[in-house]
C-alpha cells in the first residue's frame, strides 16, 4: 500500500487573544512536526482568517524549535488574530469559496481554527463546503476564550489565567486598601472583562477564602444592579471590616437592561464598546456613602498577563492544540478537542471530543447557583468549579527583570493565486 | 560595667503602602529580635502614627517567627498605615508631646518610622523634641515610597516593584494589541501613578528594548502635554508598527498647568467624564485619529503587586529595615539608612546613611536628561539608572493558585495612659 502523501496544515488565531493561545499554537506546531510523514508544513494565517482570505500565509517551518517552544510562555497572538466574523454562508459564499481556493493552492488538508464560538461556526461551515465540493479537508476547532462561554468543554483555555490574574489582583488590592482604610481609601473597585457572562468576575471571588476577605462584593452581569442593596452592603463591609473591595464586571446592567457604563461606541461586530463601569460604581459610592474610593480597570492587562498564568490553563491550552493534530491524524473532522473534568479534588481532567455542530453558536452561561442568593458573591458550588482552573504557576523566563516573550520571524509563504481578495 | 537595660522600639508605617514595605518591617523586627539584650519588644503603631497618638500599640512579640518572616513576601501595611501628616511643630506641639508621652509610658527608646518625605520630617521633629526635653530616644527613618522621590538614596524601596509591574504589564499589553491591531484595537493606553514626578511612567520605558517595542510613547508630568505632537506620534507608530502603546502618568498636565485628568471632557450625553487621564487620552485618540482604543488604569494593583515584585527591591526593603536597627544599636539618631549605588553593570549597592536634616521635605525629581528630547520616551541614561531596580523575581509562596500573604494577629498592648487623644 502506498504511503499517504503529506499535506499541509493551516492554523489561525481568532478573536480576542489570551495569555495562553500561543501555547495552543505551540501544541499544534510541535505535534505536527512530529508527524512529517502525514503533515507537511504548518502555515499560519497572518492576522487570523484574514491571512487565508488574502493568501497571506506564514511559513512556520522557518521558525526554530526553540522559538516555537517559546510560544508556550508568550502571551497574545504570535501570528496576529482578527476580529473578523465571516458572513452567513448564504450571504457570502464567495468568502468560503475563497478559503477553499487558497487551501487548494497550498495543498492544505488540515484546518486548525483557534477561537471561540464564532470561529467554531466558521470552522464547521468551511468543513461543510469542502465536503460539498469534494475537497478533502479536515477542519478542527481549537477552543480559546477568556469568556469561558463555549459549551461541551469543562472550561476554555485562556479563562483560567484571567481568573488567576483577577483573583490575585483583588487579593493584593484588598491588602492595600485594608491597610489604608483608617485614614484614606475605604472602597476599592476593580473592573474586569465579561460582557455577557460573569465568569471572570466570579473568579475574583476565589480570593475570598473566609468571611471578610477581599473581595467582599462581586457585581455580575447576570444580576440586575440594585443601587440600594449594593450601597447597603458596602456600608456593612466598611462598618464591619473597615473597608470594602468590589469586583465589577463590565457587563453589569441596570433595571432598564442598559449597561451601567455604556460608552456609546460600537465595535466591528456592532457590540457596544464598554469600559468605565468601575468609575461609575465609584461615583455611586461617593455620592451615596461619601467614602473615599479608588478604582482600577484591568482591561488588556488581565488577558495578557502571562507572567501570572495558571499552570493548569497553560497545560490545557497546549493539550487542546496537540489533541487537535492527533484528532486530525485519526481522521476526525468538524470536531473540537474538549476538556473533560474527571474530578474536582484532586483536580483531574482529560481530553474529549465535541462535534462542532453541537458547539457552534451556543453560549455556556454562568449557572445561577454559582452566585449567592443575595447576588453579590460566589457559592461553594461555584468555588468548587472555579478553584482548580487557577492552580499552579507557570512562570516565563526572565532576563534583566523582564519576561522574555518571543517574536517570530513570520516569513511569508510565496503567493500562488493571482487574484486579490478584498475583505 | 552594668549592661544596658533593654528598651522597647516603636515601628510605624506611613503613607501609601507598597509591595515591599512589610519586607522593611520584617527587617526591623527580625533584626531587633536578634538583639534582645538591647531591644525589648517591638511595638507597632496600629494605623501608623495614629497608633502612637492614640496609644493603640501592637505587640509584635506575640507573632511567630514564621509569620514575621512571611511579612517579607506580603504586600501592603501589615499594621495599617496612615495618611496623616502631623501639623507643623510650632502649630501643634501637643501632637509631638503626646508621642513622647506614649513613648515614655511604654519605655520606647527607638522610633523607626517607615515612610516618605513627610514622615522623614516627622521623625526628625520627634527626635528634636525628645532631645530638648532630655528624653532618651533614637529616631531612625526607614525609606519607602513608590514615588521614588526621596533625596540622598539611590532609590526608594517600593519603587522597584511598581517599576517592574508597569514594565511587565505594558510589555504584555503591547503583545496583545499588536496581535489585534489589524482589525481591532490600534492604540492602548496604560495610566500609572506619579502625580508629581514621572519615575513610574519612565519605568514603563524599560519594556521597550528596541525600536517599535511597547511602549512607543510615554507621557510624563514633567513634559507639558502637546496634543498635536502626541497625535502625530501615535499616527506615526500605527503607520510604522501597526499599533501604538502608551504609558501615561496620572500627573500629566496641559499648557495651562491643569491636570489632563481634570480637563473636563464630556461624554455624548454631556456628562463630565469620570476618572483618570487614561480615558481622557483615549478620547483624544478617538476624536483626532479615529483609531479604536483600549485603556487600563492600574491604580492600587501596581503598588500592591507583590506577585511580580522586584527581587532587588525586596532585598533593599529588607536591608533598610535591618540597617535601621543596626544604626540604632550603634547609637545613631535622626538618620535614614540610604541605598548607595556602587555600580550599574553589574548592579552593586550598599547601605549608607543620610542625615534626616538633609532628607526632610526635599523631592528628588526625574532628571530631564532621563527623558528623550521629544519628551516621549526615556534615554539610555534613564534606562541605565532604572534597569537594575527591576532585576530578579521574588515570588511569594502559593497555595491552590493563590499567593499566601500573612495577616498578623496584631495583639494590642495594654494601655498605660488614662487620657485619650483626639486626632
Give the closest of B77, B297, B392 to A401, CB-based: B392
Residues B182 and B285 in one domain: yes
The residue in chain A having the minimum alpha-carbon distance to the alpha carbon of residue B79 is: A179
Check: CB of residue B94 under 8 Å from CB of residue B418. no
Residues B232 and B277 in one domain: yes
Residues in a beta bridge with A191? A248, A297
The residue in chain B having the minimum alpha-carbon distance to the alpha carbon of residue A389 is: B401
The whole-number average pLDDT for the span A172-176 is 98
Report yes or no on A27 lying in a domain: yes
The residue in chain B having the minimum alpha-carbon distance to the alpha carbon of residue A383 is: B400
The pLDDT score that the predictor gives to residue A85 is 87
Residue A374: Cβ within 10 Å count: 11
The residue in chain A having the minimum alpha-carbon distance to the alpha carbon of residue B76 is: A176
The residue in chain B having the minimum alpha-carbon distance to the alpha carbon of residue A172 is: B304
Higher pLDDT residue, B89 or B269?
A: B89
Helix H or strand E segment including B127: helix B117-132
Range of weakest confidence among B97-106, B238-247, B271-280, B407-416 = B271-280
- CB < 8 Å to A294, chain B: 299-300
Report yes or no on A83 lying in a domain: yes
A168/B17 touch (CB, cutoff 8 Å), yes or no: no
Choose, out of B18, B54, B212, B301, the residue to mutate when testing the contact with A (most A CBs < 10 Å): B301
Higher pLDDT residue, B4 or B94?
A: B94
Structural domain boundaries enclosing B62: 7-158+307-362+391-403
- CB < 8 Å to A303, chain B: 176
Cα-based distances in Å from A94 to A89, A410, A420, B13: 9, 27, 13, 67
Write down which residue in A266, A281, A306 finishes a domain.
Answer: A306
- CB < 8 Å to A188, chain B: 300
3-state helix vs strand vs coil in chain B, percent to 5: 40, 20, 40
State the complex-level ipTM: 0.97
Q: Out of A118, A121, A147, A394, which one is annotated catalytic?
A: A147
Instruction: Give me the count of residues in chain B.
Output: 423
Cα-based distances in Å from B252 to A179, B161, B351, B378: 28, 22, 34, 16
Report yes or no on A36 lying in a domain: yes
At residue A49 the predicted structure's pLDDT band, cuts being 50, 70 and 90, is very high
Residue A268: Cβ within 10 Å count: 13
> What is the Cα–Cα distance from A329 to A37, expressed in whole angstroms?
11
- CB < 8 Å to A16, chain B: 180
The pLDDT score that the predictor gives to residue A362 is 80
- Å between A279 CA and nearest CA of chain B: 6
Residue A329 predicted with pLDDT over 60:
yes
B389: Cβ–Cβ under 8 A, 6 or more apart, which residues?
B155, B159, B160, B163, B164, B203, B310, B312, B313
The pLDDT mean for chain A works out to 94
Q: Which residue's C-alpha cell is 496623616?
A: B84
A179/B78 touch (CB, cutoff 8 Å), yes or no: yes
Residues in a beta bridge with A402? A399
At residue A182 the predicted structure's pLDDT band, cuts being 50, 70 and 90, is very high
Check: CB of residue B114 under 8 Å from CB of residue B79. no
- CB < 8 Å to B268, chain A: 264
Give the closest of B74, B268, B308 to A264, CB-based: B268
Residues B170 and B265 in one domain: yes
Query: Would you state the cell numbers that stand for residue B155, as one nine-digit string?
Result: 532609590
The whole-number average pLDDT for the span B14-29 is 98
Residues B151 and B11 in one domain: yes
Choose, out of A15, A180, A207, the residue to mutate when testing the contact with B (most B CBs < 10 Å): A180
- CB < 8 Å to A182, chain B: 47, 50, 80, 82
Q: Which residue's C-alpha cell is 534597569?
A: B387
Cα-based distances in Å from A111 to A99, A136, A138, B25: 10, 11, 6, 57
> What is the Cα–Cα distance from A243 to A237, expressed in whole angstroms?
6
Give the DSSP per-residue string, A206-268.
GG--STTPSPSEEE-TTS---HHHHHHHHHHHHHHHS-EEEEEETT-B-TTS-BSS--S-B-T
- Write the pLDDT tens digit of every residue in A381-404: 999 999 999 999 999 999 999 999
At residue A91 the predicted structure's pLDDT band, cuts being 50, 70 and 90, is confident
Residues B142 and B74 in one domain: yes
B275/A279 touch (CB, cutoff 8 Å), yes or no: yes
Instruction: Give me the count of residues in chain A.
Output: 423
- Write the pLDDT tens digit of every residue in A235-283: 999 999 999 999 999 999 999 999 988 743 444 444 444 458 999 999 8
Sheet arrangement for strand A293-297: A217-219, A244-249, A187-192, A293-297, B293-297, B187-192, B244-249, B217-219
Write down which residue in B304, B326, B347 finishes a domain.
Answer: B304
Bridging pattern class, strands B108-115 and B138-143: parallel
Residues in a beta bridge with A364? none
Cα-based distances in Å from A142 to A110, A161, A188, A360, B67: 12, 17, 37, 12, 45
Where does A219-340 have alpha helices with state H? 227-241, 277-289, 300-304, 311-329
- The CATH number linked to A230 is 3.40.50.460
Choose, out of B172, B192, B195, the residue to mutate when testing the contact with A (most A CBs < 10 Å): B172
Residues A244 and A127 in one domain: no
Tell me which residues of B are annotated as active site: 147
Give the closest of A188, A276, A301 to B172, CB-based: A301
Query: Would you state the cell numbers that stand for residue B21, as one nine-digit string?
Result: 514595605
The residue in chain B having the minimum alpha-carbon distance to the alpha carbon of residue A347 is: B400
The pLDDT score that the predictor gives to residue B264 is 52
Query: Would you state the cell numbers that stand for residue B154, as one nine-digit string?
Result: 539611590
Report yes or no on B385 lying in a domain: no
Report yes or no on A413 lying in a domain: no
Give the closest of B179, B181, B184 to A268, CB-based: B184
Burial A395-414 (b: 16+ CB within 10 A, else e): ebebeebbbebbebeeeebe
Higher pLDDT residue, B93 or B114?
A: B114
Work out how many domains chain A is built from and give that number: 2
Residue A361: Cβ within 10 Å count: 10
> What is the Cα–Cα distance from B204 to A390, expressed in whole angstroms?
27
Write down which residue in A274, A306, A338 finishes a domain.
Answer: A306
Report yes or no on B1 lying in a domain: no
Query: Would you state the cell numbers that stand for residue B268, as one nine-digit string?
Result: 455624548
Give the closest of A76, A83, A173 to B183, CB-based: A83
Residues B270 and B320 in one domain: no
Report yes or no on A378 lying in a domain: no
The whole-number average pLDDT for the span A336-359 is 96
The pLDDT score that the predictor gives to residue A311 is 98
- SS3 call for A399: strand
**Phi, psi (rounded to 5 degrees) for A146:** -65, -20
Closest of A161, A158, A165 to residue A298, by C-alpha: A165
The pLDDT score that the predictor gives to residue B271 is 47
B151: Cβ–Cβ under 8 A, 6 or more apart, which residues?
B354, B358, B359, B362, B363, B364
Give the closest of B76, B190, B390 to A175, CB-based: B76
- CB < 8 Å to A314, chain B: none
A275/B297 touch (CB, cutoff 8 Å), yes or no: no
Report yes or no on A337 lying in a domain: yes
Residues B96 and B144 in one domain: yes
The pLDDT score that the predictor gives to residue B92 is 83
B294/A299 touch (CB, cutoff 8 Å), yes or no: yes
> What is the Cα–Cα distance from B100 to B382, expressed in whole angstroms?
43
Residue A32 predicted with pLDDT over 90:
yes
pTM over 0.95: yes
- Write the pLDDT tens digit of every residue in B214-252: 999 999 999 999 999 999 999 999 999 999 999 999 999
- The CATH number linked to A334 is 3.40.50.450
The pLDDT score that the predictor gives to residue A350 is 98
Choose, out of A175, A281, A302, A345, the residue to mutate when testing the contact with B (most B CBs < 10 Å): A175
Residues B86 and B192 in one domain: no
B177/A305 touch (CB, cutoff 8 Å), yes or no: no
- SS3 call for A386: helix
Residue B343 predicted with pLDDT over 50:
yes
Residue B349: Cβ within 10 Å count: 18
Higher pLDDT residue, A196 or B354?
A: B354
> What is the Cα–Cα distance from A281 to A260, expressed in whole angstroms?
8
Residues A234 and A314 in one domain: no
Q: How many CB pairs under 8 A join A and B?
A: 228
The pLDDT score that the predictor gives to residue A269 is 46
Q: How many angstroms separate the most distant Cα atoms in chain B?
A: 81
> What is the Cα–Cα distance from A369 to A382, expressed in whole angstroms?
7
Cα-based distances in Å from A369 to A202, A315, A343, A365, A375: 12, 28, 19, 11, 10
Residues B112 and B201 in one domain: no
The pLDDT score that the predictor gives to residue A263 is 43
The pLDDT score that the predictor gives to residue B261 is 86
- Write the pLDDT tens digit of every residue in B269-324: 444 445 689 999 998 999 999 999 999 999 999 999 999 999 999 999 999 999 99
Residues B300 and B317 in one domain: no
- SS3 call for B46: coil
Check: CB of residue B209 under 8 Å from CB of residue A404. no
CA A124, A127, A130: angle at the middle one, nearest 5? 150
Amino acid at each position: 500500500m502506498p504511503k499517504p502523501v503529506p499535506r499541509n496544515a493551516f492554523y489561525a488565531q481568532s478573536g480576542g487573544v489570551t495569555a495562553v493561545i500561543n501555547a495552543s499554537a505551540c501544541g499544534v506546531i510541535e505535534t505536527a512536526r512530529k508527524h512529517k510523514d502525514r503533515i507537511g508544513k504548518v502555515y499560519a494565517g497572518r492576522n487570523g482568517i484574514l491571512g487565508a482570505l488574502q493568501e497571506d500565509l506564514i511559513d512556520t517551518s522557518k521558525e526554530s524549535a526553540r522559538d516555537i517552544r517559546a510560544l508556550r510562555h508568550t502571551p497574545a497572538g504570535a501570528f496576529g488574530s482578527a476580529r473578523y466574523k465571516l458572513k452567513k454562508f448564504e450571504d457570502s459564499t464567495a468568502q468560503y469559496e475563497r478559503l477553499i481556493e487558497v487551501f487548494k493552492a497550498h495543498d492544505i488538508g488540515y484546518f486548525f481554527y483557534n477561537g471561540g464560538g464564532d470561529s467554531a461556526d466558521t470552522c464547521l461551515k468551511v468543513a461543510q463546503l469542502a465536503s460539498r465540493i469534494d475537497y478533502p479537508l479536515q477542519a478542527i476547532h481549537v477552543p480559546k476564550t477568556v469568556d469561558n462561554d463555549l459549551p461541551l468543554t469543562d472550561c476554555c483555555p485562556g479563562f483560567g489565567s484571567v481568573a488567576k490574574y483577577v483573583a490575585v489582583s483583588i487579593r493584593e488590592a484588598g491588602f492595600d486598601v485594608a491597610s489604608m482604610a483608617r485614614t484614606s481609601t475605604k472602597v476599592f473597585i476593580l473592573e474586569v472583562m465579561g460582557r455577557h457572562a460573569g465568569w471572570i468576575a466570579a473568579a475574583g471571588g476565589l480570593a475570598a477564602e473566609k468571611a471578610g476577605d477581599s473581595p467582599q462584593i462581586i457585581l455580575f452581569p447576570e444580576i440586575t444592579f440594585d443601587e440600594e442593596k449594593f450601597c447597603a452592603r458596602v456600608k456593612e463591609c466598611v462598618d464591619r471590616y473597615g473597608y470594602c473591595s468590589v469586583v465589577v464586571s463590565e457587563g453589569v446592567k441596570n433595571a432598564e437592561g442598559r449597561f451601567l457604563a455604556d460608552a456609546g461606541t460600537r465595535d466591528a461586530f456592532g457590540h457596544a464598546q464598554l469600559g468605565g463601569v468601575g468609575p461609575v460604581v465609584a461615583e455611586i459610592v461617593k455620592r451615596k456613602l461619601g467614602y473615599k474610593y479608588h478604582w482600577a480597570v484591568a482591561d488588556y492587562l488581565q488577558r495578557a498577563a502571562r507572567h501570572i498564568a495558571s499552570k493548569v490553563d497553560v497545560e490545557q491550552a497546549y493539550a487542546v492544540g496537540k489533541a487537535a493534530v492527533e484528532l486530525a491524524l485519526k481522521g476526525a473532522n468538524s470536531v473540537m478537542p474538549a476538556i473533560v473534568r474527571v474530578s474536582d479534588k484532586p483536580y483531574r481532567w482529560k481530553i474529549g471530543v465535541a462535534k462542532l455542530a453541537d458547539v457552534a453558536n451556543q453560549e455556556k452561561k454562568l449557572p445561577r447557583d454559582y452566585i449567592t442568593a443575595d447576588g453579590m458573591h460566589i457559592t461553594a458550588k461555584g468555588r468548587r468549579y472555579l478553584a482548580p482552573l487557577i492552580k499552579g504557576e507557570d512562570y516565563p523566563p526572565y532576563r534583566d527583570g523582564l519576561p522574555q516573550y518571543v517574536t517570530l520571524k513570520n516569513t511569508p509563504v510565496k503567493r500562488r493565486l493571482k487574484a486579490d481578495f478584498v475583505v
